[in-house]
Amino acid sequence: MQHVLVTGGAGYIGSHACKALKAAGYVPVTFDSFVTGWRQAVKYGPVEEGDLLDRARVDEVFATWKPVAVMHFAAISLVGEAMKIPGKYWRNNVLGSLNLIEAACAAGVKKFVFSSTCATYGEHDNVVLDESTPQEPLNAYGASKRAIEDILRDFAASDGLEHVIFRYFNVAGADPDGEVGEFHRPETHLIPLMLDAIDGKRDALTVFGTDYDTPDGTCIRDYVHVCDLVDAHVLGLKWLEEGKGNRVFNLGTGDGFSVREVIDQSRVVTNREVPYNEGPRRAGDAVKLVSGSTRAEEELGWRPTRSKMQTMIADAWRWHQAGHYDE
């Protein structure tokens, strides 16, 4: 059996990736610090606790499992926090990833799938965001991910590290079987906060900014279902196995939804009122992030099947109502 090292395998996207990898015949080995990950989310293979900043620990895990590839999800990813504590993002995300990349190369593991973000693009008025759009991030989160992309390119040149970089748009939804789902601490993301507000588990949602230059004044995002997203990662791994080389892929659907539209769709799906109020803009937010690329479909053969907004909200709602992980 082929092992794949999955950093952040106890997190939202990483846990779904482990399920997809297992279904594809691999053994996912979760490496997680459990600072934000959940032990209950590790269901599909062995687990190693550790911090990517601890290089000796990372080397040990490579020696133990001899993975054929790495899928690197572990990161901190909160735009608001990144504006206030940028050093945390540079240290954790960039130095941690550098350790991982160096350890992978030292262990002779040359296949690397990396979780990057559309936040690396920053603000581009009326420009379609495709993989060649200049990367001008607005916050330390996006900047840290862009830096890791640069590190991968350098190690590709120096050590022959073969990598696929996925730039995610907004990930949403949950495993339709209800085995894993989205549960962050603290929660900052729109859809889970909204479902909590609908359920009375927390106060009304605050819409961050209603004076943007968009049809309804709120920010526009491109939402992609977590199951579709991780399917692309398995395809990315196969791409590397077939020796197709280093490549960057956007993962989005090309459909933009404003915050108000997401609220409206949630009202329809849950058949409940969405308690919300309107607040000021959140620092670091781009007005509009929508993928203008079909490269993943054309080259990887990626076929998103659950990324309709109502399906994503319905899957998230089902997971939400089933009770999350116990704290």
Measured from the CB atom, the residue of 188 and 310 that comes closer to ligand UDP is 188
Does residue 210 contact residue 280 with C-beta atoms inside 8 Å? Answer: no
Residue 212 designated active-site: no
Name the one residue in this structure whose structure tokens are 């990736």.
17
Which of 189, 202, 267, 272 lies at the binding interface for ligand UDP (CB under 6 A)? 189
Measured from the CB atom, the residue of 104 and 205 that comes closer to ligand UDP is 205
**188 forms part of the interface with ligand UDP (CB under 6 A):** yes
Measured from the CB atom, the residue of 74 and 205 that comes closer to ligand UDP is 205
Residue among 44, 141, 212, 276 flagged as catalytic: 141
**36 forms part of the interface with ligand UDP (CB under 6 A):** no
**260 forms part of the interface with ligand UDP (CB under 6 A):** no
**232 forms part of the interface with ligand UDP (CB under 6 A):** no
Helices 140-159 + 96-106 axis angle, to 10 = 20
**285 forms part of the interface with ligand UDP (CB under 6 A):** yes
Measured from the CB atom, the residue of 28 and 256 that comes closer to ligand UDP is 256
**Where do the DSSP E strands lie in 2-155?**
3-7, 27-32, 47-49, 69-72, 111-117
**Where do the DSSP E strands lie in 158-266?**
162-168, 170-172, 205-208, 220-221, 223-225, 247-251, 257-258
Burial of residue 235, with CB atoms counted within 10 A of its CB: 0-12 exposed, 13-18 middle, 19 or more buried: buried
Within 60-89, the residues that bind ligand UDP by CB under 6 A are 79
Whole-angstrom Cα distance, residue 174 to residue 194? 15
Which of 69, 205, 234, 240 lies at the binding interface for ligand UDP (CB under 6 A)? 205
Asked whether the CA dihedral 307, 280, 202, 263 is positive or negative, the reply is negative
In whole angstroms, how close is the CB of 190 to ligand UDP at the nearest point? 4
Considering CB under 6 A, how many residues would be counted as binding ligand UDP? 15
Count of CB atoms situated within 10 Å of the CB of 137 = 22
Count of CB atoms situated within 10 Å of the CB of 252 = 26
Site string for ligand UDP, 124-143 (x = CB under 6 A): --------------------
Measured from the CB atom, the residue of 106 and 283 that comes closer to ligand UDP is 283
| Binding range to ligand UDP, per CB under 6 A, among 43-51, 108-116, 130-138, 184-192 | 184-192
In whole angstroms, how close is the CB of 264 to ligand UDP at the nearest point? 14
Which stretch of DSSP H or E encloses residue 38? none
Measured from the CB atom, the residue of 10 and 207 that comes closer to ligand UDP is 207
Q: Which two tokens stand for residue 67?
A: 């993975």
Which of 152, 190, 251, 316 lies at the binding interface for ligand UDP (CB under 6 A)? 190
Task: Please choose, from the candidates 21, 28, 30, the residue with its C-alpha nearest in 3D space to the C-alpha of residue 238.
Answer: 21
**193 forms part of the interface with ligand UDP (CB under 6 A):** yes
Whole-angstrom Cα distance, residue 296 to residue 251? 7
Residues recognised as catalytic: 141
Interface contacts to ligand UDP, rule CB under 6 A: 79, 170, 188-190, 193, 205-208, 219, 221, 259, 282, 285
